[in-house]
Every structure is written in C-alpha cells, then in structure tokens.
Amino acid sequence: MRYFIDVIIPIPLKKLFTYSITASESQFLSEGMRVAVPFGKSKIYTGIVFKIHNDAPTAYEAKDIHQILDETPIVNQKQLQLWQWISSYYMCTLGDVMRAALPSAFILESETVITKNKKTIDESVLKDDEFLIYEALHHQSSLKIHDISNILDKKNVLPIIKRLIEKEAITVEEEVYEKYKPKLVRYVKLHANFSTESALQKLLDDLSRAPKQRDVVMTLFSVSAKTKKPVKVSDLSQESHASAAIIKTLIDKGVLEEYYIQTDRVQYSGDDNEATKNLNTYQKSALSEIKKSFENHAVTLLHGVTSSGKTEVYVKLIEEALSKGKQALYLLPEIALTTQLVTRLQNYFGEQVAVFHSKYSSQERVEVWNNVLRNSAKAQIVLGARSSVFLPFDNLGLIVVDEEHEQSFKQFDPAPRYHARDTAVVLGHMHGAKVLLGSATPSLESYFNAKQNKYGFVELMQRYNDVLMPDIELVDIKDKLKKKRMKGHFSDRLLEEMTETLKAGHQIILFQNRRGFSPIIECKTCGHSPQCPNCDVSLTYHQYRNQLRCHYCGYHAAMLQDCMACGSQDLDNKGFGTEQIEEEVKQLFPDNKVARMDLDTTRGKYGYEKIITALEQQEIDILVGTQMLTKGLDFRNVKLVGIMNADNMLNFPDFRAHERSFQLMLQVAGRAGRTDERGKVLIQTYNPHHNILQQVSTNNYVEMFNEQMNDRYNFKYPPVFKQIKITLKHKDYNRVEAASVWFAKSLRQVFTEHVLGPESPPIARIRNQFHKNILVKIPKQQSLAKTKEAIIKINNSFFSIKDFRSVRVILDVDNF
C-alpha cells in the first residue's frame, strides 16, 4: 500500500498538492503537523498536513516530502475546519488562510546559500567580480545572497551568481531554517569549585585586591539568599552597580558560571488577582439577561451605552467560563489602543491573560500560540485583535467581541478578506461556545440580526454611577463664518467652552477625522495641486517633516517652494488635518499642554501607551486626534469633546458613511464626562439639520437604525442584501476597462439586475494600477453557495482569455 498526504502550502493555489510518504512516516505523521516539501523546480515550502490517505494523484507523480518538522500537530482539527470555512465563505485559497493564520516564524523560508564547487576550475576564466566571490568561498564554506551583495557592494548579484554556476565554480543549496528562537535569559551562579567554605574563603581573600569584583560576588550571595531564585546577570549588574565588563571578567576567570533559561517574551509583571467589581443593579440584570439569552441564542448582542460598564459584565462572564475549565477569547478592534483594558484584565486574572498583540514580534506570537495550543494556564483568556481567531483553541467556552461595530474587524487586504466578528460566530459554533457581541453603537448587521431573532438581544442603557449622557451641542459654522465668529477652525462657542473647561482644571479632546480631509496644497494663482505620480490623489502636506506624502502608496517628496505648473509662490493649504489643528490650538492656548494622537505620533510598540499615560497623568490639557481617540479609552478628567468638522465624514462616498459617522461621533462623545460631572460635546458642522447629527445629539440609535435600514432596503444594500465586490486591477487602463466590461456582462447573464458596474472607484489609480469595481448583490432567498459557484465559473473562463490573464481579480465577500 502507498501513502500520501494532501498539504496546504502558504501560496494561493486552487487545489492542495499531494505528496508521497513512506509507511513509517504515515505512522508518525498526523494532520496539522508541518512538513517541508519541494515545490516547482527548486522551491521548498513549509506545508501543513491536511489529510493522510492512500490515493495516488491521477494528474501527476507525487513527490516525496523533504522532512517532517513537528512531533505533534501545531494546528488542530477545529482550526482546519475553520480554515475551510473561511476559504469557502470568503472565496480564497487555503494557502491564503494558512499565511494569515500562522505566525510567520512557523513558516520556514528557503534562502539561497552558495557553496564552492568541489571540483577545481581554471580561475583565469573568472571576471573580477566573480573572482572576489570565488575567493571569499575559500575562507567561508558558504555565503548568502546578501553577503554577496555586501562583498560586491551592489544589489543585483543574481547575474553574477548565475555566471559562477555556469562556470561550475559554485553550487547553490537551499537552506531551510526556522526563524523562531525562544528568548533566553542569562543567569549567573558561583562556580562549583567554590562550593566549599574554605575554597570560598580563599576566593574572597584573593579578590581583596579587586574590590569591585569582590563586591559582585558578595552581592550575588545576598541576592540569592534573599530571593532564593536564580540570579539574572542584569539584576546582578544593577544590584552591585558593576559593569557588564566586570561580570564578564569573573566569568572568564571561572569564578562565576553563566547559564541560560528560556523565558516567555510575553510576560506579565504586576499585581494580580484584584477582586472583580460588584455589579450595580443595571449591570446585574444585563448579566442575568445575557445568561438567559444564551440558553436559546449562542450569539447575543449587548447594546450598552458608553460607560455603562460593559467590560465588568464581560469580566463576570469570563470568570464563569474559566470556572467551568473553558478558555475565553476577548476580541478587540485594535489591541494597541487598549492598554487600559489589558491592565484591567490582568489585574483581575493575572497570568491567565495572554495578549495577542498586532505589534508583537513573530517570536512573541509563537509563544502565545504555543501556550494556547498546550491549553497552558498562561493562556486561559486571550485578548487580541482580528487575527486571534486563528489561535489553536481547543476548548473555548466564551467569545466576547467588544466594539463589534468596528470596521477594522474586517481584513481589507490581502486575502483572506475575513470579518473577525463573523468568523468568531462560526468559531464559537464549532466549540459550542457562547458569543457576546458588545457595542454602544451596534453595526446595522448585528442589530438587524437581533431584530430578526437570529441573535439574542440585551440592553444596558444607564451609565455607571448614573452619570448623565454628555450634552451634545451642534454649532453651525456657516452661520459663524458669516458673522465672523470663527478663529481659524474654531468657532466662538468651542473657544468659550474650551476656556471654561481649562479654567476648571479639566481636559479636552478635539477630534478631526483623518479620512479624506488632510491638508492639500493648492496654487492660488493657477489652482494646481501636486499629485502623486503613482495614484490619482493629491499629495498631503505634512508640516512636521515638511514633506508632501501620498497616503495610498507612501510616495513622498520635499515640500514645494513654488507651483510646479505656473511657478507662483502663492501656495495655500486646503483642508485641515490633525497637525494643523494642533498648531492652531497651540497658538490659541499658549499656556496649555497640547498633544496629538494619530498614525504619525503613535508609531512603535509603545507609541499609544506614552500618549495615553500622559493624558491619564494629566500631563496633557488638550489632545488632538483622529478616530484612534474613539476606541475604548477611559479618562476620568476629560470634560469636553470637540468634533472639528462633521461634514467630511457624512459626505464620504460609501453606503455606510452615515452609519459610520453616527458611530464615530457617539463614540468620541462617549469620552466626555465619564465619572461624576456631565460632559459636554460640541459638533461643528455646515449642516446642523442633517438627520444623523440630530440623531447623534439626541443619542437616538433606534431612529438612526430605522432610517438607515430604509435606505438599505431601497437600495438593496447589506444587511438586507448580501454583496460581493469584484475589483479588477491592471496598469493598462484599456485592458482593465475591457476586462471589467466582459466580467460584468458575464455576471449579468446570471444575476441580471443585481450586478452594478463596472465603475471606476473615487481613486481610480493606486500604485500605477487602474481599478474597476463590480458589485454583485445577493437577495436573502438566493443561495450564497450557488452564487459563489457561478462567480468562480465566470472567473475561470475570464482567465482562459489570453488578454485578461495579466489582470488581477480580487473577490471581496461582505465588502466594507
């Protein structure tokens, strides 16, 4: 009998590849283990064993695997099941899912390594460059591509390598290596030679002429006597005030002995096991309603206003899941923004909390992965963003999706274009776990599902401590401009409130939407504004670096001195971003501390933390920021929130723009007055009668929902219809135009009036690629599976047309 395995490889292949294994390998292997497999002419990939069987592939001769990389599976059956669901629901390959699911350190990489050929050759045939490399290989047994680049001081060395191979001077071998290395911490102890009292006495006598070294030895004694634990080199150095050099001398002399212990990179150091809070009556009844709802609805939506204390309710549910010996997953839109929450959970649950951080290194992700896989005590609660749905849970009892309305739960690019909330619902189902979706401003999708009784529904409408909802005032900027009551972008009302708030010693948050309203340079003489050479967008002015930048492709150039078109020096700033607001505030309130929170100021792992801590410590009086400000921050002393301009959000060309504006504004508003005093929110707008603004100012979610749902019915948008967006991209406009017309026509033959487009998106060219969008709308009664089948069929015929083969097609199910 012959043995075969189907293997998932981390590249987008439509089908799994089958490899041949031996009988003994088949005994050892199981599904979910990694194997190194050859692919194509010379590539090696890490694959995941998907299935073990005895059926030889009919279309090709199965190759042997190179080696087995694991002793036990690193991916479990439930995960493989989830991967399959994602691949079929979101119309992508299992390889795409594997790439997204596994920490990259798990995916071995093949790197080209060069060695000298054993055969001796006539060196006179080598050119200078070639000889240098050949010579280097006399001293080193192997070289990597980048070593060769360094030696030759040039980037493109592949032609030289190719010639050396042709001249039989070198050979190429592929080296497979594992990137993950556990972090090792260095410890020291006294060498065993000095374990007797007399030897020790002699040592100390000998060291009397080297007092610093003697100090180190004495400190080592006292520290280890005190802590009764191994002593880290770093601690010893700190305690004894000795430099690393002194400790090294002692190690070299054989007085001290160094050793390493593997530690987790992702460690919690703090006080744990603070008692969880007692719920107030509203929270208590919400909790019991949720539990009751879970009896009939595995998925339940909690609509709780900002600062109602939803987190404490989640905490009780987590406690309960843990007490039943189950794991809990707490999903957040963006983990980096929620250090406050991390600390809160760690105070309650200590080491049981594992954080799966988007800014963690691959190594750190591997540690969390392994802890979850082993169901270790250190990972009973996982707190993480979108990708944590991919962790190897085996025993989930509860999933909380906090801020479930957040769009960042949907992966936009690359595939798999999955929605983590919806994936969590499927994941929960696989584990028989309960899923709680929570938000102060639920997505229309979830609220609709709750109304349809597909999800359970619970409300929590009282703020904790009965703090009143903030008082929201709309300020008409058109009127203010007419009456000359604007200073820059600030109305007199906003300035009055700011002055008063600062006088009372409170803090202020100013919100400026990042999207679509960054400062653009415009020539006052001819109207020209500098454009990105690769994309159809205006460049954005960044004062801090004095640069013009493209937000789509990263292109940047120094700020212009004069207009590129007419040479005039009269250049103007159109629109305004956070940076400009910050500048204006500094001038208006020179005695106050102003800070800014946006993508530019929060780079690096602790970028957010620094600003958040500074605000908490009241080192900042006024914080200017983008939507980052809306996410789950809890500041006791913020009393005023100013929304600089509501209109650019409302006018954004997207069918969700109104829903999203409502959510954003209520969420930022929720940052004001979270403790005792009522907060104040000022919204500046050209259009104070806009329905959404009226609904925001009266906190009327239900009215917003009903009105928006009306539009969604009328225009056949989600959640009433499902939809799949098909994007075609090519650098040649005519080709993408022809291709998209063909694609849309074929779709129309099947789906008739439910196909929209092709249309050029508002930004028609990005990174030199022209885009065309087609939308397929799917009525609820139409089979989703059949719809997808038909689209895949059309897609396949599309690629059989020679002219279209170079066009990229992107399928996005439930697009955002």
Applying CB under 6 A, the residues found at the interface with ligand ADP are 277-280, 283, 304, 306-312, 464, 634
Q: Is 523 annotated as a binding residue?
A: yes
Give Cβ neighbours of residue 521 (< 8 Å, ≥ 6 apart). 529, 530, 538, 539, 541, 548, 559, 560, 571, 572, 573, 574
555 binds Zn ion (CB under 5 A): yes
Nearer Cβ to ligand ADP (236/435)? 435
531 binds Zn ion (CB under 5 A): no
Least spacing, CB of residue 558 vs ligand ADP, in Å: 44
568 binds Zn ion (CB under 5 A): yes
Distance CA 500, CA 494 (A): 10
588 binds Zn ion (CB under 5 A): no
Helix 701-714 / helix 444-451 crossing angle, nearest 10 deg: 90
Token reading at 194: 């000095």
Q: Is 553 annotated as a binding residue?
A: yes
Least spacing, CB of residue 540 vs Zn ion, in Å: 10
Give Cβ neighbours of residue 756 (< 8 Å, ≥ 6 apart). 774, 775, 777
Helices (H), 654-719: 657-669, 691-697, 701-714
Least spacing, CB of residue 403 vs Zn ion, in Å: 31
Least spacing, CB of residue 310 vs ligand ADP, in Å: 4
Residue from 158, 218, 468, 565 binding Zn ion (CB under 5 A): 565
For residues 750-779, one letter each, b for 16 or more C-beta atoms within 10 angstroms of the residue's C-beta and e for the rest, the string is: ebeebbbbbebeeebbbeebbbbbbbbbbe
Nearer Cβ to ligand ADP (167/291)? 291
520 binds Zn ion (CB under 5 A): no
552 binds Zn ion (CB under 5 A): yes
Q: Is 563 annotated as a binding residue?
A: yes
Distance CA 475, CA 686 (A): 8
Task: Count the site residues for Zn ion by CB under 5 A.
Answer: 15
Distance CA 487, CA 74 (A): 60
Q: Can you count the helices (H) and strands (E) in the chain?
A: 26, 37
Token reading at 502: 């600062």
- Neighbouring CB atoms inside 10 A of 708's CB total 21
Residue from 7, 383, 535, 709 binding Zn ion (CB under 5 A): 535
Rg of the chain on CA atoms, in Å = 31
311 binds, among ligand ADP, Zn ion, none (CB under 5 to 8 A by kind): ligand ADP
Least spacing, CB of residue 573 vs Zn ion, in Å: 15
Nearer Cβ to ligand ADP (306/626)? 306
523 binds Zn ion (CB under 5 A): yes
Nearer Cβ to ligand ADP (302/807)? 302
Nearer Cβ to ligand ADP (49/400)? 400
800 binds, among Zn ion, ligand ADP, none (CB under 5 to 8 A by kind): none
304 binds, among ligand ADP, Zn ion, none (CB under 5 to 8 A by kind): ligand ADP
Identify the three-state secondary structure at position 766: strand
Residue from 372, 532, 641, 739 binding Zn ion (CB under 5 A): 532
555 binds, among Zn ion, ligand ADP, none (CB under 5 to 8 A by kind): Zn ion
188 burial (CB, 10 Å; 0-12 / 13-18 / 19+) is: buried
In the chain the first and final C-alpha atoms are separated, in Å, by: 50
Distance CA 502, CA 622 (A): 9
Nearer Cβ to ligand ADP (308/513)? 308
Which span (2-10, 70-78, 560-568, 612-620) binds Zn ion, by CB under 5 A? 560-568
694 binds, among ligand ADP, Zn ion, none (CB under 5 to 8 A by kind): none
Distance CA 15, CA 170 (A): 36
Give the H/E segment covering residue 216.
helix 211-227
Least spacing, CB of residue 557 vs Zn ion, in Å: 11
Least spacing, CB of residue 634 vs ligand ADP, in Å: 5
Nearer Cβ to Zn ion (163/528)? 528
Pairing of strands 456-460, 434-439: unpaired
Least spacing, CB of residue 738 vs Zn ion, in Å: 25
Least spacing, CB of residue 636 vs ligand ADP, in Å: 7
364 binds, among ligand ADP, Zn ion, none (CB under 5 to 8 A by kind): none
Helix 784-799 / helix 733-751 crossing angle, nearest 10 deg: 140
Q: Is 92 annotated as a binding residue?
A: no
Q: Which residue from 723, 726, 708, 732 is spatially nearest to 773, judged by alpha carbons?
A: 726
534 binds Zn ion (CB under 5 A): yes
Give the H/E segment covering residue 240.
helix 233-240
Least spacing, CB of residue 359 vs ligand ADP, in Å: 23
Nearer Cβ to ligand ADP (284/603)? 284
User: Which CA distances in Å does 191 have to 114, 203, 253, 259, 737?
Assistant: 42, 11, 10, 11, 76
Q: Which residues bind Zn ion (CB under 5 A)?
A: 523, 525-526, 528, 532, 534-535, 550, 552-553, 555, 563, 565-566, 568
Q: Binding site for Zn(2+): which residues? A: 523, 526, 532, 535, 550, 553, 563, 566
